[in-house]
Amino acid sequence: MTTRTLGTIFLFTAAITFHPPIAAAQGTHIEQDDPAITYSGNWWTNDGAENSGGHVKLTNTRGSRVTLSFNGTGIQWIGVADAYAGLSTVYLDGAKTIVNSYSPVSHYQNVMYSATNLAPGVHTLSIEITHERAAGTDGSWVWIDGFNIQGTPVQGQVTANTGTVQENNPAISYMGAWYANLNPGLSGGAASLSTDAGSKATLTFTGTSVTWITEHDPWSGVGRVYIDGTLVATVDNYASSTQLGVVGYTSGALAPGTHTITIESTGTRNGSAQAAWVWIDAFNVTQ
């Protein structure tokens, strides 16, 4: 399995490495409470002069999440690295990076994650808290002090319009453990896949129907499909031979407007399958 590359990304999997922030002249700095940032789960506020703007948000609650969309070519997550900080999973347009915030010495207003040289346009960054820690740390806290953007923040959820929506479209939000797979036979040459129960991929779209494009093979398992939060199908993706570009689910006619489709990995499989992978190759949205 290989990982799709999106511009230049600093990957932190051991002790944190420190990088200089994007110069203010190159972009926009937003604080942790900017209305363009969406939080879910349990978050707390910490006040301190060492923080940008004097405030920071933090949590160690598994599944808590922060999401930001932006129009530009780069982004930096600004946070705190210290002896009580833990791991988090960062998704940038579906590409996954594990960030270890631990440092034996406290560093405030620190660049925790950086991506540059992205294709101009809209992108979505999500940080998911896993309540996990690496060796040496005494906690699993994750801090949000703000973001530096080579571009401008986008207010509200990014929404896909009609046509083919690839797996790395910023209108798709990922939660849980997802991995990238490259294959010229896939739509757009890449897909995201998960085998962990409870991992979800959610597309927000405007249209009257949506189709999930997936892969069926001997290593694929069972996924659940939700439309606007309601369970509508349970799909067994197993096949005795590999089939690319398969329709996993097509919705009926939906009321005109904005909807969501969520694909959930159940971590289960039928008796013939050798594994339980669930694939996101693409979605097709119809007006």
Residue extents of the structural domains in the chain: 8-154, 163-286
**pLDDT tens profile 242-269:** 999 999 999 999 999 999 999 999 999 9
| pLDDT at residue number 26 | 61
14-57 pLDDT per residue, tens = 344 445 555 544 689 999 999 999 999 999 999 999 999 999 99
- Would the pLDDT of 2 be above 60? no
The predicted model gives 163-185 an average pLDDT of 94
Q: Residue 268: which region, alpha, beta or left (left: phi > 0; alpha: psi -120 to 50)?
A: beta
183-216 pLDDT, tens digit per residue, is 999 999 999 999 999 999 999 999 999 999 999 9
Q: Which two three-digit tokens encode residue 234?
A: 């349970």
CATH classification of 8-154 is 2.60.120.260, yes or no?
A: yes
Gap between the Cα atoms of 166 and 53, Å rounded: 37
Residue 230: CB partners within 8 Å, gap ≥ 6?
none
Instruction: For the chain, give the mean pLDDT.
Output: 90
Task: Give yes or no on whether 8-154 and 163-286 have one common fold.
Answer: yes
| Stated pTM of the model | 0.82
- DSSP assignments along 91-152, one per residue: EETTEEEEEE-B-SS-EEEEEEEEEESPPSEEEEEEEEE-----TT-S--BEEE-EEEEEEE
pLDDT of residue 21: 56
Identify the CATH assignment for 163-286 out of 2.60.120.260, 3.30.230.70, 3.30.1490.20, 3.10.20.30.
2.60.120.260
pLDDT on residue 1: 35
Interval 86-99 mean pLDDT: 94
Q: What is the pLDDT of residue 135?
A: 81
pLDDT in tens, 116-152: 999 999 999 999 999 998 888 889 999 999 999 999 9
- Give the phi and the psi of residue 56 in degrees, each rounded to 5: -155, 150
